[in-house]
Amino acid sequence: MKVKPVNDASRPAAAPAPPDDDAVIATRGLSKRYRGGQPAVDGLDLTVPRGSVFGFLGPNGSGKTTTIRMLVGLIEPTSGVARVLGEPMPRAGRRVLPRVGALIEGPALYAFLSGRDNLTRYDAADPAADPRTRSARVSAALDRVGLAAAAGKKARAYSLGMKQRLGLAAALLQPRELLVLDEPTNGLDPQGMREIRTLVRELAAEGTTVFLSSHLLDEIEQVCTHTAVMAQGRLLTQGTVGELAGAARGRLVVTTPDTADAVRVLKEHGVSDLVVAEDRITGELPLPVSGGPLDPGESFGSGDPGGPLDLADLNAALVRADVRVRGFGTERASLEDAFVALTGEGFDVAG
């Protein structure tokens, strides 16, 4: 996946949306502009494949939550179209929403009711829910999110993480084709986060498409199959998690006691952004000639007008300069590396 510049070298273009045949979510030109302000979402072309766990990423104010609210019919777009489960939203909301579970901006709970009674109210409000099997559904949902032992406690006594779990249980009272989760692990401890990740994987294995926004890049990398990155209301790129991480260049890593001489040689051969920590040097390699990911031995452009130089030649240049090389290679780019490369900024909390 290659990201091409639009207006300048620092602003990448959105990757072309994949075909939306059998897509669970497909938007075309979706925009939301509030009165007197900049567009919150601007011309969004997003495609969420059926059966995927889709991570929706972006810094604070990027338009993620506004997009989600349009997808589930809480607000109407200014222009463009959104189709969910093949139906136009919000026009087809009555047909679509019973097939969608959602947890957006935290669950709405009755503080004076117990966790079980809250879920019973949610289930009773669903016209398609069979009252004869309500108790079994509520118990199964509580058990699935790890709240069976706390089911009798008042919701006001729940921690933030427990409230998140209860909201997720409400979304799982019925089998869903699509689950939309906005920051699903907010407030959870590490064990709770692992449990929710496991649950998401189980739901995907059962055929549910999961669309989740998160500010936790590690969470996205561990659980998601596909992802999209938003910034300033616009889609920067979308694709598989592997494609996005692969589009970012890995960094060169050299281990040597001769750091000063090594830095000099690396600079001479076009390696930039050099960081020295004790006997470890990392640096950004020049763009590969092939345009693909760097592997040992693959050519890359250098500052040498004589032409491209491969990693083996760079290693040899260090040795010729009497640098004692104890380790040499490239480290894989992370999703965080790709995010920073795309947006030009660090990752902030949910937008």
Give me the CATH number covering residue 310: 3.30.70.100
Q: Among residues 176, 184, 155, which one has the least CA distance to residue 24?
A: 176
pLDDT of residue 126 exceeding 90, the answer is: no
From the centroid of its chain, how far is CA 116?
Answer: 32
How many C-beta atoms surround the C-beta of residue 105 within 10 A?
14
318 pLDDT above the threshold of 60: yes
Residues 186 and 275 in one domain: no
Amino acid at 167: G
Omega within 30 of 0 (cis) for the link into 49: no
pLDDT of residue 287: 57
In three-state secondary structure terms, 126 is coil
Taking 70 as the threshold, does the pLDDT of residue 9 lie above it?
no
Is residue 177 in a domain? yes
168 within a domain of the structure (yes/no): yes
Residue where a domain terminates, one of 230, 246, 262: 246
Close Cβ partners of 114 (under 8 Å, ≥ 6 residues apart): 151, 152, 153, 154, 155
What are 284's strand-pairing partners?
251, 272
For residue 90, is the peptide bond before it cis, meaning its omega torsion is within 30 degrees of 0?
yes
- In contact, 17 and 351? CB cutoff 8 Å: no
Identify whether 132 is part of a domain. yes
Mean pLDDT of 330-336: 64
Give the pLDDT score at 248: 58
Residues 323 and 202 in one domain: no
Q: Are 213 and 42 in contact (CB under 8 A)?
A: no
Q: What is the pLDDT of residues 155-189, one digit of tens each?
A: 999 988 888 889 989 999 998 999 999 888 877 78
Overall domain count for the chain? 2
Residue 55 shares a structural domain with residue 87: yes
Residue 131: which CATH number? 3.40.50.300
Residues 267 and 233 in one domain: no
pLDDT for 306: 44
**Tens digit of pLDDT for each residue in 296-308?**
334 334 444 444 5
pLDDT of residue 208: 92
Query: Is 104 among the domain residues?
Result: yes
Question: Residues 228, 54: contact at Cβ < 8 Å?
Answer: yes
Among 57-61, 213-217, 266-270, 322-326, the range with the most confident prediction by mean pLDDT is 322-326
* 231 within some domain: yes
Residues 102 and 211 grouped into a single domain: yes
Query: Which residue range(s) make up the domain with 167?
Result: 23-246
